[in-house]
Structure 1
Amino acid sequence: MPNYDLIAILGPTASGKTPFAAALAYELDTEIISADSRQIYRGMDLGTGKDIIDYTVKDKQIPYHLIDIAEPGYKYNVFEFQHDFLNAYETIKQKGKLPVLCGGTGLYLESVLKGYQLIPVPENPELRNRLADKSLEELTAILKEYKTLHNSTDVDTAKRAIRAIEIEEYYASNDLSKREFPSLNSLIIGIDIDRELRREKITRRLHQRLDEGMIDEIKRLLAKGISADDLIYYGLEYKYLTLYVTGKLSFEEMFAQLEIAIHQFAKRQMTWFRGMQRRGFNIHWINASLPIEEKIEEVKRLRMI
């Protein structure tokens, strides 16, 4: 039987990975490390799909890590995620438990499953000032001079594009000494959900979260002093709901554009995961429609192979 260091649960939005990971953690008496780039922010709950209730299984609260660890407006990055992941991972391992990593942010998942050697990239005020007046189209063209754009998220807003250029410029002009990151033997489980079912669940969940007060959440964040640009930076719900709240979009325009954007996001997530397979990751796909008990049994079987 392989001696796994970690079980990773990945899948696109609305695939049901979080309740499955929580049920698995309950069965294995262990804890969950989140790999979601937006759930780290306090007060950003409905828009990120935090669903803390999913971490309660049979009246037991499943311990979780890397949720609600930063203030909204802060620009958390993958280097910080690696650092925080290792702290959480070592905490769980010291208890003699097998950590469960769960999320849909492909870069975060891959950075720890493969052990990317990353270093933090500091801000470059001179470069930022030089780029401040350029249009998004101009910034995109500049970024393309550094690399082929595989992920449109880098150029979703001018602020994102400037940060991406800043990172690429740093990589191009510095001798990057490598940081040690442990090699983890990970059992990787993918939640495979039918595309049409995924689309139905995304639309239903969007209606539900709007009914639960997602617009009020945006208003509260703005009232706390988080700028509209900072919220837009986080994309998806925060982008389109902020545009609605600030009068840039009608409700109907917001809903239609956001629904399309979430569907496109889920498709990009699956593209990333398939890319991980091409890059050598062994992902064991489990049908999302199976009962949770059957999913758990399949994970147990895979652990024994």
Structure 2
Amino acid sequence: MITILGPTASGKTSLATALAARIGDAEIISADSRQVYRGMDIGTGKDLDDYKVGGMNIPYHLIDIAEPGTKYNLYEYQKDFHTVYEDIRKRGKLPILCGGTGLYIEAVLKGYRLSAVPQNSTLRKDLEGLSLEALTEMLKDLKAKTGSKMHNKTDVDSCQRAIRAIEIETYNLEHPISLREMPAVDALVIGVNINRDLRRDKITHRLKQRLETGMVEEVKGLLDRGIPAEDLIYYGLEYKYVTEYVIGKTAYDEMFRSLETAIHQFAKRQMTWFRGMERRGFTIHWIDAVLPMETKIEQILALWQ
């Protein structure tokens, strides 16, 4: 398998699809934790037009497979990935894993998955009404007991996320389980390296473009379908900040500034994760994002061969 990873706005999807078109017998497996949701298109940057290259439709998987408002997780991703991966291989095609969710990518390549953690309604009622600060401190204490690191700030983006994280850590404390090994996936890992200033410029430009082309309307439509605001806020980034604007919690300019900052911070965290993967033994072949597409493809094919 070939894996193409990179931070948001690095152009990894267009590179993956162009590579798939060049190879001919290749299909894309998405590694994006939010593109799994139907109807959440603009905010997650699905850009499905990228999957049409030179008149060829590039097959893609693990996009639009879950209902908005649900909580798709790593455990489900692992199961779904292996189903798709085995099917692609059986048909004699080359899987190309592409995305920016480092946890999903690392879990797949390393070969592990977590057991599903059920909801704990009693615990949720006990935690209801606590402040985000109090929940964060509780989560830190639990993670110290389970030996888990407090590395994922999205765990405490909202009270709902913090409660779910506490639920998981409480379950792990009460039901000590080791990671269940799965076959590691052999992959050539390509990283798309984009200059920090260029990345920031592209993020700001893309955010303006998305807001001008219907992101607010998309969120309003999801709310009109009956999806609770707190469920959209749970997804973070665009859906958190735009929802808060739509329900009147923030003004437009404040929403834009806060969201822009949050996306910049998110991209930085993505790069921190990828660098951490290298420290944990992964070899990532970094390719400059500004190179011509053909040059990038030639570099990947040379490494693949």
Tell me which interval the TM-score lies in, with the shorter structure as reference length.
Answer: over 0.9
* 1:12 matches 2:10: no
Q: Name the aligned partner's letter for residue 264 of structure 2.
A: H
* 1:71 matches 2:67: yes
Question: Structure 2 regions of 5+ residues with no counterpart?
Answer: 144-148
Alignment of 1:57-206 (within 5 A): 57-147=53-143, 148-176=149-177, 179-206=180-207
Whether the 8 Å contact between 2:4 and 2:12 is mirrored in structure 1 is: yes
TM-score (norm 1): 0.96
Q: Name the aligned partner's letter for residue 117 of structure 2.
A: V
Q: Distance in 2 between matches of 1:180 and 1:140?
A: 30
State the match for 2:146 in structure 1: none
Give the secondary structure class of the aligned counterpart of 1:133: coil
State the match for 1:221 in structure 2: 222
Whether the 8 Å contact between 2:193 and 2:288 is mirrored in structure 1 is: yes
Q: Distance in 2 between matches of 1:28 and 1:87?
A: 22
**Which deviates more, 21-30 or 10-19?**
21-30
Whether the 8 Å contact between 2:112 and 2:179 is mirrored in structure 1 is: no
State the match for 1:3 in structure 2: none
Whether the 8 Å contact between 2:30 and 2:98 is mirrored in structure 1 is: yes
Deviation at 1:146, TM superposition (A): 2.0
Deviation at 1:117, TM superposition (A): 3.4
State the match for 1:282 in structure 2: 283
State the match for 1:245 in structure 2: 246
Q: Name the aligned partner's letter for residue 252 of structure 2.
A: F
Deviation at 1:180, TM superposition (A): 4.3
Q: Name the aligned partner's letter for residue 43 of structure 1.
A: G
Q: Name the aligned partner's letter for residue 50 of structure 1.
A: K
State the match for 2:236 in structure 1: 235
Give the secondary structure class of the aligned counterpart of 1:101: strand
Q: Name the aligned partner's letter for residue 137 of structure 1.
A: E
Deviation by residue 1:97-151 (Cα, 9 ceiling, x = unmatched): 1100000011111110111232111111111111112111110000001224112
Q: Distance in 1 between matches of 2:117 and 2:239?
A: 25
Aligned with residue 23 of structure 1, among 18, 26, 42: 18
Provide the alpha-carbon RMSD of the alignment: 1.0
State the match for 1:52 in structure 2: 48
Deviation at 1:169, TM superposition (A): 1.1
Deviation by residue 1:260-291 (Cα, 9 ceiling, x = unmatched): 11000000000000011111111000000011
Q: Name the aligned partner's letter for residue 200 of structure 1.
A: D
Q: Distance in 2 between matches of 1:136 and 1:283?
A: 36
Question: Structure 1 regions of 5+ residues with no counterpart?
Answer: 1-5
Whether the 8 Å contact between 2:78 and 2:113 is mirrored in structure 1 is: no
Q: Distance in 2 between matches of 1:182 and 1:63?
A: 24
Q: Distance in 2 between matches of 1:194 and 1:229?
A: 35
Deviation at 1:175, TM superposition (A): 3.7
Q: Name the aligned partner's letter for residue 69 of structure 1.
A: I
State the match for 1:40 in structure 2: 36
- Closer/same/farther in 2, CA of residues 149 and 180 from structure 1, 3 Å limit: closer
Deviation at 1:179, TM superposition (A): 3.5
Deviation by residue 1:231-264 (Cα, 9 ceiling, x = unmatched): 0000000011001111111110011111011000
Q: Distance in 2 between matches of 1:261 and 1:183?
A: 33
Q: Name the aligned partner's letter for residue 168 of structure 2.
A: I
